[in-house]
Structure 1
Amino acid sequence: MSLNLQDIPRVKNLSKADFLRHYFKPQKPVVIEHFIEDWPAYSKWNLDYMKTTAGDKIVPLYDDRPVDYEDGFNQAHAKMKMSDYVDLLKTEPTKYRIFLWNILKEVPHLQGDFSFPDLGLSLMKGLPMLFFGGSNSYTFMHYDIDLANILHVHFDGKKQCILFDQKQNDFLYKVPHSLITREDIDFNNPDFEKWPALKRAKGWICELHHGDILYMPEGYWHYMRYLTPGFSMSLRAVPRNPKNFARAIYNIVIMRMLDNGMRKWKGQKWIDWKNEQAIVRTHKKMAM
């Protein structure tokens, strides 16, 4: 048995009007092909180019270890020169990923390699973020703290993406006071005997290739697995739905402060309690 996932539609040369009408307004995901072929990045950006142009930069690295109470919010697990990291990606499997790397801040001239798509989104032009990973490395199922609309542009290699909307929260074993599901769920091959609620979740799936843009609507859960070494860039716009905007403010101002405070006070007991509650609350809702 596998997850209940439907293919994310793929379209070519999508117009702004069609994007707004068919995907943004109904908040449905889509993969847009052939949209960035006029960008210099389309022909230039690959792992070798990033090694050449940013090889001396020290980059933060993350792996798939469970959350520890001593870890700060988005605290890196290791650091490495970009040139060494690219060599690592190309020579052996590694779980290390680059997460939320601001290219404008680190390598400003890369801004000239791309433009911000005119699809009717008010994109935050100071926050283009890069994400890198090696074969079979992955992110835990999560959604972003700001519940942003995201244009996820993929470069080099292949990546599998699984998405769920917020209506599926009751079935995903969401960890309270967090933005993640239980970290021991393998969304690539879930154990339905251990996680029976997942049978009820309805989601989306796609495979991204060089030049594809994945639109992820506000607050969508996403699980990303690198099928081969590669990288992507996310462009984001604030949520338009007032409820989502309010939730984003709550997450940033209150939830993060509460969680950090409880980690300092309760330590690992707080993390363990949250993980236990993810099961208790999910199965309670299943029984209703």
Structure 2
Amino acid sequence: MAGESTPEAPAEGPLWRALRALMPDSQEGLMLDLGASVTGSVVQLLRRAAELFYGGQGSMCLQAAEAILDYSWEQLNTGPWRDVDKGWRRVYALGCLLKAVCLCRAPAGPLAVAEALRVCDMGLLMGAAILGDILLRVAAVLQAHLPAGKRPPPGPSPQQPRTKKARSAPVPLPDLEPGSIVPRVRCPSLQYFGEHFLLPGRPVILEGVTDHWPCMRKWSLEYIQATAGCRTVPVEVGSRYTDEDWAQRLMTVNEFISTHIEGESRDIGYLAQHQLFDQIPELRQDIDIPDYCCLGSGEDEEITINAWFGPPGTVSPLHQDPQQNFLAQVMGRKYIRLYSPRESEALYPHETHLLHNTSQVDVENPDLERFPRFAAAPFLSCVLGPGDLLFIPVSYWHYVRALDLSFSVSFWWS
């Protein structure tokens, strides 16, 4: 009949069948309440894309999905992120879902599957949760269909063999003064920790608490590459976030390792992300929430778990956070200095609202003419090694410098 398109040949294959099984049975199941802020033309385009998908028109659906992503990307990047309407984030996630699945219509080679996985990751990072976190399930299927031997090369040059190792240049370690070292306690009871450290707000390193975590025996550079190398993540480029040239870029974990850990780039790159463990459940399964978090007022679901992965020399400037913090060291070592909230005036916080929780002082090279009171401010310090769990009380100022290739996990709780 005129005006109707003929369905394409069936896209059979194990990957397509696995992805199709995750999708709703009909177009009606795909549509969501997008809210009044989403323009009618985009809603119509999304409906058209759904019709094409369920009508077997994969290539035309792919074109429509890309148009949806173009429209919604513009909305996501207009104004501050906190002001982005959730309806537009749903539109973006739906566009990513349709594009990722349509890219995998048979025959889909490794490059197409890798691109579909990148699209899924963009939806997870920039979109809103849809259809019971379907993008997480689609990403898991896609990653399972990229066996190690068929994945795109991790480096920028497919012809160049991987012979480099992680940079290991020595990083200077400050002297730790005996009277200012963070105390250490091995596996204290909940009551002891609460009475001696949580209630009085005293930093402490807990030993032995993370010994049973799978990450302590499994994680290495090679394991992270095998588990998450093909995943797209935001990377902070610059030695510290207060630098003028600091920026955030999207790249795969393999590209991050190749450029900023094994490569010769002079720019320090740092993977610091609170979504990583949601995005890559395989890594989340290797860690546990410390039992001591049960002493707080929130539920486990309210605890924010952050990943901190980067080369030696990476610095987190002196700053404070509005929640209790457990910092678990999995790989490498970090030098950490801690100041009580009572010393805030001597730490010279930035006056701008954006950086009010960050000190202006370069801790290890302070300008004492500009910041004279800083020299007299008492502090605690430590070197955090694999297996150590540091308790940083709420509002406690802390400065962190990686001494080695380092992977840390932090837990923010109330």
Do they fold alike, i.e. is TM over 0.5?
A: yes
Task: Report the alpha carbon displacement of residue 109 of structure 1 after superposing the two structures with TM.
Answer: 2.7
Counterpart Cα distance in 1 of 2:399 and 2:262: 23
Query: Could you tell me which of 311, 314, 318 is aligned with 1:134?
Result: 311
Task: Report the alpha carbon displacement of residue 48 of structure 1 after superposing the two structures with TM.
Answer: 2.3
Corresponding position of 1:84: 255
Corresponding position of 1:43: 217
Q: Which runs of 5+ in 2 are unaligned?
A: 1-174
Distance 1:124 1:43, change over 3 A: same
1:71-116 CA deviation, whole Å, 9 max, x = no partner? 9xxx952222111222331455652112233233210132221221
Answer whether contact 2:274 2:307 (CA < 8 A) is retained.
Answer: yes
Ranked by relative contact order (alpha carbons within 8 Å, sequence separation 6 or more), the top structure is 1
The answer to whether residue 288 in structure 2 is matched with residue 115 in structure 1 is yes
Answer whether contact 1:148 1:217 (CA < 8 A) is retained.
Answer: yes
Corresponding position of 2:387: 211
Corresponding position of 1:21: 195
Q: Map residues 176-215 of structure 1 onto 2, 5 A cutoff.
A: 176=351, 177=353, 178-182=356-360, 185-215=361-391
Give SS of 1:168's match: helix
Percent identity, please: 28
4+ runs of 1 displaced by more than 3 Å? 2-5, 65-68, 90-94, 121-126
AA matched with 1:15: S
Answer whether contact 2:312 2:403 (CA < 8 A) is retained.
Answer: yes
Give SS of 2:318's match: coil
Counterpart Cα distance in 2 of 1:123 and 1:30: 23
Task: Report the alpha carbon displacement of residue 187 of structure 1 after superposing the two structures with TM.
Answer: 0.9
Counterpart Cα distance in 2 of 1:77 and 1:96: 9
From the two aligned structures, give the one with the greater helix fraction.
2
Counterpart Cα distance in 1 of 2:267 and 2:312: 7
Corresponding position of 2:331: 156
1:46-74 CA deviation, whole Å, 9 max, x = no partner? 33222211111122222226466xx9xxx
Answer whether contact 1:47 1:156 (CA < 8 A) is retained.
Answer: no
Answer whether contact 1:99 1:130 (CA < 8 A) is retained.
Answer: yes
Task: Give the alignment's TM-score, normalised by structure 2.
Answer: 0.51
Give SS of 1:113's match: coil
Counterpart Cα distance in 2 of 1:31 and 1:123: 23
Distance 1:3 1:227, change over 3 A: closer
Query: Could you tell me which of 247, 252, 270 is aligned with 1:97?
Result: 270
1:11-30 CA deviation, whole Å, 9 max, x = no partner? 21222111111100110000
Task: Give the alignment's TM-score, normalised by structure 1.
Answer: 0.72
1:190-247 CA deviation, whole Å, 9 max, x = no partner? 2323421102212211111111101000111111100111111111112xxxxxxxxx
1:116-148 CA deviation, whole Å, 9 max, x = no partner? 12112346445211011211110111112xx10
Distance 1:66 1:35, change over 3 A: closer
Q: Which runs of 5+ in 1 are unaligned?
A: 239-288
Give SS of 2:269's match: coil
Distance 1:123 1:191, change over 3 A: farther
Give SS of 1:32's match: strand
From the two aligned structures, give the one with the greater strand fraction.
1
